Structure 1
Amino acid sequence: MTLSALALAFALTGCATAPSSNLATVAAYRDTIELSGRLSVNYQKDGKVESVTGSFDWTQRPGNVNVSLANPLGQTVATIDVTPQSATLTQGGSAPVSEADIDTLTQRTLGWPLPVSGLRDWLQGYAVDAQGQRFAASPARNEIVTKDGWRLRFMEWHDPNAAQPKPRVIHATRAAAGDIQDLEIRIIVNQA
C-alpha cells in the first residue's frame, strides 16, 4: 500500500443505517481524545476506480494531533503529527515530510487536501457548515455540507439513545478534490 493510498485511506469506513428519530444532542466537544477505528476510501483517478482500506489510532491534545495509520494487517505504515506550527508525515524507510500545515502537507503528498483539520470536529459529531456556522450532529440531525465542500452524513451512533451520543460511522463525499473524482470516505470509530 503506497503512502498516498494510505493517507488517502485515512479518512473514513462504515455501514449505512436509517437515522433515528431520537432528539438527543451530540456529546460535548473535548480538546483531548484518543480514538481508533477502521477506514475505507473509494475514488476515481485518471479514469480508474481505486479503493483502499486500513485502520488508524487518533490522539488529540490541545495544540497537537497524532495519527498512526496501519494497513489491513495492522502494520503501521505512516504517522502524521500536527501542531500549530507544522504538520509532519513519517513513513517507514523514508525521510519525514513537513509543511506549515496539514492541508499543505496533504496537498503536497496526495495532490489534494485531506480533511484532517475537519476530522478534529467530525470525529466528535461537529462541523462548520457552508455558511460558516457551527453544526452539532445528532441521530435526528445527521447531515451537512461543510464550508470546504464535503457532504457529511453521521450514519450510526454509539448508544443513539444516550443523552449525548457519540458518532460511530461517518460518511464523507466530495465530487472532486484535485485530480481525484467521486471521493467517498468512511470511518468507523471504535467505542471510546
Structure 2
Amino acid sequence: MLRPPFRPGSGRQALIAVGLALACTTGVTACSSVPTAPAVISATPASQQRDQRLLAVTQFALEAKLAVQFNGKGYTARLQWQHTPATDQLRIFSPLGQQIALIDRSAESVTLTDQSGKQHHAGDVASLTEKLLGWRLPLTGLSQWVLGTPHPHTEYEASYLSTGEPHTLRQDGWQIAYDDYKPTILPEITESLPGLVRLQQDDIRLKLLIQHWE
C-alpha cells in the first residue's frame, strides 16, 4: 500500500584498490534472501507509534559487517558509522582490519579519503561511492532505514510485523528487508531495532549485519 511521507578518471583508478581490498566471498549471496515472517500491509497503531518514537532519534553510532554484491561479484567489509543531523562519518575496513575508505559528510560537501590518503569530493555520498567504488551507498535514506523506519521526504510502501516493526520497505527505488529485531538503547530512547538490514536496487545488493549500537 502506497503511503505518503510520514510528517511531524584517475580518482576511480585510485579506488580500485578499495574494491579489491574488500575480500571476495560467496556468502554475500545471502543478501538476496528475504526473511519470512507474518506481516500486514497497512500501517497499524503499533507501527505509527513506533515511527513517532523514532522521531526522537537524532544521532547514533553503529558497527556492522557490510556485504556488497554487484556486477556478479561479492565483497565483505567492516563498517563503523557515526551519524548526527549535520554530519556522517563512515569508516570502511577490510576483513583484516585495514582502513580502506573514510567517508565524511557535512552540510557543504562529501569527502572520501582512500587508503593512500587521496581525497575525492562530491555533492552526495551515493554519487561519490558509485563513481569510485562502483556501487551506490544511499546514505540519505539509510540513516532512517537502518533504524527500521522510512525517511519523511518521499512516498513509500511497507509491510509490518504484528509488533509494529517493518518487515519490508520500498522507498527511493530501494527494496529493504528486515530481520532480527532486538531492544536497543540509544541516547534518546530504547527501541526495537533491526540486527539485519538487506537492501537491493537493480543489481546492487547490500547487507548490514549490525553488531553494536550506541
**TM-score interval, normalised by the smaller of the two chains:** 0.7 to 0.9
- If each structure's strand is expressed as a fraction of its own residues, which one has the higher value? 1
Alignment of 1:172-183 (within 5 A): 172-175=199-202, 182-183=203-204
Distance in 2, matches of 1:109 and 1:75, equals 18
- Letter in structure 1 aligned against 2:169: I
- Structure 1 position 38 matched with structure 2 position 65: yes
Superposed displacement of residue 71, structure 1:
0.6
Query: Hey, what does 1:190 align to over in structure 2?
Result: 211
Indicate conservation of the 8 Å contact 2:109/2:124, yes or no: yes
Deviation at 1:31, TM superposition (A): 1.3
Please give the residue correspondences for 1:105-124 in structure 2 after superposition, counting only pairs within 5 Å.
105-111=128-134, 113-124=136-147
Gaps of 5+ in 2: 1-15, 185-189
TM-score, with length taken from structure 1 = 0.75
- Residue 28 of structure 1 corresponds to 54
Identical residues among aligned pairs (%): 20
Aligned to 1:158: 182
Paired residues, what number? 175
**From 133, 139, 163, the counterpart of 2:155:** 133
Q: Partners in 1 of 2:20 and 2:76 — Cα distance?
A: 9
CA separation in 2, counterparts of 1:137 and 1:19? 10
Shift of 1:183: 1.9
The 2-side partners of 1:79 and 1:119 are apart by 17
Are the equivalent residues in 1 in contact too, given 2:39–2:159 (CA < 8 A)?
no
Q: CA deviation at 1:34?
A: 0.7
Tell me if 1:2 matches 2:10.
no
Q: 1:107 to 1:53 in 2, by over 3 A?
A: closer
Q: Deviations over 1:6-57 (max 9, x none)?
A: 79x9xx987864326698544624111011110111222xxxx211001100
List per-residue Cα deviations over 1:134-178 (Å, max 9, x = no partner).
Answer: 67885443112212x111111221249xx8310110111122xxx
- Cα-Cα RMSD: 3.3
| Aligned CA distance change for structure 1 residues 164 and 70 (closer, same or farther; 3 Å) | same
| Corresponding residue of 1:97 | 120
Change (3 A) 1:116 1:4: farther
Q: Distance in 2 between matches of 1:98 and 1:170?
A: 28
Structure having the higher Rg: 2
For normalisation by structure 2, the TM-score amounts to 0.68
Residue number among 148, 166, 169 corresponding to 1:144 in the alignment: 169
